[in-house]
Chains A and B, each alone.
Chain A
């Protein structure tokens, strides 16, 4: 029986391998949050037990015995994360640390019962597969969100378990199985422009690199995420469907009271390309400053003849 510390090291090695990173002493030290000498010491003990093997250039790999032990640890860890998140309602940025403590004290009986209670879950809340939970039909062609082409849509598969990142993503509504679209426009100040659930978001490049996504085919994309433009981009007589009202509670509230709700049709009545615009929404003519018209995002509708009511 491996000690909890050794199990933690195995789990860390497992996570690195899963992400396709080279398992080196320094990578492990970073992943596990300890110093390199202690990693070296732990690796020596794992090698003594025949759980890992040294490879050239300081890379280590799991032996068959090590791999089986690792997937057992990771399975317990992710089952606990699921349980803590789904059943106990802990936030997804809190479950990792809790599960790290619980995974070592989990008897096979408890592990089996956990799996039964969480009958359908085959991933942890962050989107990583629970070993042994599903048949797993081969590897999916996932790529980092930062590598997604402009204007392409993709489904989020997994998100790295980092408290700060998770809290940031939660606010943006980015989590596994959510569809995101890379904005058509090129990125600004190293930030990745995204559309999530009809809202425009922007994410630091290195944060986007830590999110794995699965690119969607055009058929899958249809109806998922249409390309939105600022209301101020519509020319006279063009019709759009409101998708997003932008930010600022007072502004959103005023928009709502005047009839701008997601899904409503608006017709541009007058737009000179600068200065305020006039739109028709719910039988009402509304004048908007250009700044305000830029905040509201719409999807252009073909056939400008549609009534905006």
Chain B
């Protein structure tokens, strides 16, 4: 669905000249954690389209802005530290600038770590689009005792430099003015590009000459030469394809001889940056302990760090129960009332129609709605922690144990999101830099007990175990997390050999949250979820209702029941009858459907499901059923997300099969184990 929403930029090859005078295209570039999305939100407000870059699992955000008589289209490029195609983000960012040639590229920099941030500017200056530099988070820099002089930097760079505090809306007018002047050609744009040591410059000339006219089209040839020396895989492939075999061999020998040039290039850029910094930046006298340093003493401490992380996660769960819990019940009541209303108002209509409307469609809507409050709390909490800069610390703290399961700290966050819903957890796996870590995170995410499964768990343990309910529920959640850990160890050893991924990430400075950004991020993620998962849940809900109603209109004699009876021999190994198996099958729509289905097929007429359960299941069977339920194939929306995010049927089928085998194997093992020990019969 999201693929449709994204604009296919490869298709329209218009250049700056062909565009109408009335529109301009501006790209926002910048490293992560510099407040780029705040700047983007400030410029575009709610006129945003969120989608995917074509063929990539990288989010694409575009928006528009009305300015005098002109429409400015703003494209938010993914956050990157450099423009070497090490990751999909970096490739997307630079391909966009090179192929689409936006009228201007606004480079958003964090003023507090200007030196490192200027590296991206050094790279951007090698490309042909004009640059406008935004020094964002000037307040944070000031807090760190760092003074930046934008005018000096502007003069030294030869490009407009605007200082901003996007979180407080400062500097927008100046930025827009600069955009106008650059787009109209009013600004005497004479950028100064980093020069390298003479021998490196000569080497670049040699490479450019060797490529000659066969250099890949569109790309500036000096830039291509630089990227070849930097070992950029994508550019290397392009050049290999465009040169004759002999010349490529010559090129390859030359590149091999100068393998170390990648370091010389980076050093050259930083030398150039150091010169700029010396002119435009005053550092605090040493010995000043910054706010970030003080906070980090606790947040990344070897004992306090994990405690703080666990504490924060606890608060999020508490908020989910306090805020989302009552709302979910209210929504349930509302949906139930609506279903009753449909039934009573459609008294004359055929039974299948009321059933389809009240159970199939409204049931699906209800499921989606009941997820919304939970996810709002999760998304908002995560957006808050991300905005203030804590998320990187959470990853740092989590790295110690994530490392053991072959992942690094960053994958902890999407897995945590899995407690809310597995769909955003699978999508969140994008945060990983390597393909290996991404797929591994996607495979593990559905094993995290989502709110739907926890709801089933709480209901069943409550009905079956009386006082021991809380303990039983907790035990099963812990069991699931152990399975996550063990699966991680097994997968990383067997499927993804080749060492754990490199853990190297920036810890941004802490700063005050920007509520606007948090709200907007929460809203966007929620909309994306409803669009992606909601429609699918609705469709699957209707389909399952149909197979549960055909051919007789009664679930006990439906196709669904037939399937349940077919699987009954498997269930009998756990002392589960076909009704329970059917309930399990309907959890493919959404996990909480298990309860609803059992309620419908409840053989003890006249009793509530909670009262009937102890008669339907022996304690041992109940535990093995819950084990199966917790590990069973993820819901349809999650499976669809796995397919979309991995882009591979193989991984999707593998994931489903793994869950199936694991769930039944564990369930049978638990029941048979209990039987052998003579427990809970």
Known: A269-B296, A289-B399. A283 touches B115 (CB 8 A): yes
Known: A269-B293, A283-B115, A305-B287. A256 touches B503 (CB 8 A): no
Contacts of A272 in B (CB 8 A): 302
Contacts of A249 in B (CB 8 A): 231, 262
The interface bits of chain A over 255-291 (1 if a CB of B lies within 8 angstroms of the residue's CB, else 0) are 1111101111000011010011010011111111101
User: Complex Cα distance A245/B287, Å?
Assistant: 28
Contacts of B337 in A (CB 8 A): none
Give the contacts of A216-254 with B (CB-CB under 8 A).
245, 248-254
User: Complex Cα distance A289/B409, Å?
Assistant: 9
| Number of chain B interface residues as a range | 35 or more
The residue of chain A having its C-beta at the shortest distance from the C-beta of B400 within the complex is A275
Give the contacts of A88-146 with B (CB-CB under 8 A).
none
Does B547 belong to the interface (CB within 8 Å)? no
Known: A275-B400, A276-B409, A278-B296. A288 touches B503 (CB 8 A): yes
Give the contacts of B40-68 with A (CB-CB under 8 A).
none
Partner of B115, one of A253, A259, A270: A259
Give min CB distance, A265 to chain B, whole Å: 11
The residue of chain B having its C-beta at the shortest distance from the C-beta of A273 within the complex is B302
Q: Does A291 contact B283, Cβ atoms closer than 8 Å?
A: no
User: Complex Cα distance A203/B507, Å?
Assistant: 38
The residue of chain A having its C-beta at the shortest distance from the C-beta of B403 within the complex is A289
Q: Does B396 contact A254, Cβ atoms closer than 8 Å?
A: no
| Number of chain A interface residues as a range | 35 or more
Q: How many A-B residue pairs have CB under 8 A?
A: 123
Does A50 belong to the interface (CB within 8 Å)? no
Contacts of A35 in B (CB 8 A): none
Does A72 belong to the interface (CB within 8 Å)? no
Does A206 belong to the interface (CB within 8 Å)? no
Does B292 belong to the interface (CB within 8 Å)? yes
User: Complex Cα distance A255/B82, Å?
Assistant: 11
Contacts of A281 in B (CB 8 A): 116
Partner of B505, one of A251, A263, A287: A287
Q: Does A285 contact B502, Cβ atoms closer than 8 Å?
A: no
Partner of B82, one of A253, A289, A305, A307: A253
The residue of chain A having its C-beta at the shortest distance from the C-beta of B509 within the complex is A285
Q: Does B504 contact A254, Cβ atoms closer than 8 Å?
A: yes
Known: A269-B296, A278-B396, A283-B115. A262 touches B263 (CB 8 A): yes
Q: Does B270 contact A259, Cβ atoms closer than 8 Å?
A: yes
Contacts of B267 in A (CB 8 A): 261-263
Does B427 belong to the interface (CB within 8 Å)? no
* Residue of A257, A278, A282, A307 most packed against chain B (CB within 10 A): A257
Known: A269-B296, A289-B403, A289-B408. A309 touches B283 (CB 8 A): yes
User: Complex Cα distance A255/B502, Å?
Assistant: 10
Does A292 belong to the interface (CB within 8 Å)? yes
User: Complex Cα distance A249/B287, Å?
Assistant: 36
Q: Does A285 contact B116, Cβ atoms closer than 8 Å?
A: no
Q: Does B286 contact A307, Cβ atoms closer than 8 Å?
A: yes
The residue of chain B having its C-beta at the shortest distance from the C-beta of A258 within the complex is B81
Q: Does B86 contact A253, Cβ atoms closer than 8 Å?
A: yes
The residue of chain A having its C-beta at the shortest distance from the C-beta of B112 within the complex is A283
Contacts of A291 in B (CB 8 A): 500, 502-503
The residue of chain B having its C-beta at the shortest distance from the C-beta of A248 within the complex is B502
Partner of A258, one of B283, B506, B509: B506
Does B459 belong to the interface (CB within 8 Å)? no
Partner of A283, one of B146, B300, B396: B146
Q: Does B296 contact A257, Cβ atoms closer than 8 Å?
A: no
The interface bits of chain B over 112-147 (1 if a CB of A lies within 8 angstroms of the residue's CB, else 0) are 111110010000000000000000000000000010
Partner of B119, one of A250, A259, A289, A306: A259
Q: Does B116 contact A259, Cβ atoms closer than 8 Å?
A: yes
Q: Does A253 contact B119, Cβ atoms closer than 8 Å?
A: no
The residue of chain B having its C-beta at the shortest distance from the C-beta of A261 within the complex is B267
The residue of chain B having its C-beta at the shortest distance from the C-beta of A255 within the complex is B504
Q: Does A286 contact B503, Cβ atoms closer than 8 Å?
A: no
Known: A278-B396, A283-B112. A254 touches B502 (CB 8 A): yes
Give the contacts of B653-679 with A (CB-CB under 8 A).
none
Known: A245-B263, A261-B263, A264-B270. A289 touches B296 (CB 8 A): no
Contacts of A287 in B (CB 8 A): 300, 392, 395-396, 399, 409, 503-507
User: Complex Cα distance A306/B116, Å?
Assistant: 19
Partner of A257, one of B81, B392, B500: B81
Q: Does B262 contact A276, Cβ atoms closer than 8 Å?
A: no
Contacts of A259 in B (CB 8 A): 115-116, 119, 270
Give the contacts of B246-301 with A (CB-CB under 8 A).
262-263, 266-267, 270, 283, 286-287, 292-293, 296, 300
Q: Does B504 contact A286, Cβ atoms closer than 8 Å?
A: yes
Q: Does B263 contact A256, Cβ atoms closer than 8 Å?
A: yes
List residues of A whose CB falls within 8 A of some B CB. Answer: 245, 248-259, 261-264, 269-270, 272, 275-276, 278, 281-289, 291-292, 305-307, 309
Can you list 22 A-B contacts (CB < 8 A)? A245-B263, A249-B262, A253-B231, A253-B262, A256-B263, A257-B81, A258-B506, A259-B115, A261-B267, A282-B270, A283-B112, A283-B115, A283-B116, A285-B507, A285-B508, A287-B300, A287-B392, A287-B396, A287-B505, A288-B504, A289-B503, A291-B500
Q: Knowing that A253-B262, A262-B267 are A-B contacts, what are 15 other residue pairs whose CB atoms are under 8 Å apart, sorted by A's residue number?
A: A250-B502, A251-B502, A269-B296, A276-B396, A284-B113, A284-B116, A285-B506, A287-B504, A287-B507, A288-B504, A289-B403, A289-B500, A291-B503, A306-B286, A309-B115
Name the 8 nearest CB pairs between A and B, nearest first: A289-B503, A257-B82, A256-B266, A285-B507, A257-B81, A282-B115, A283-B113, A259-B116
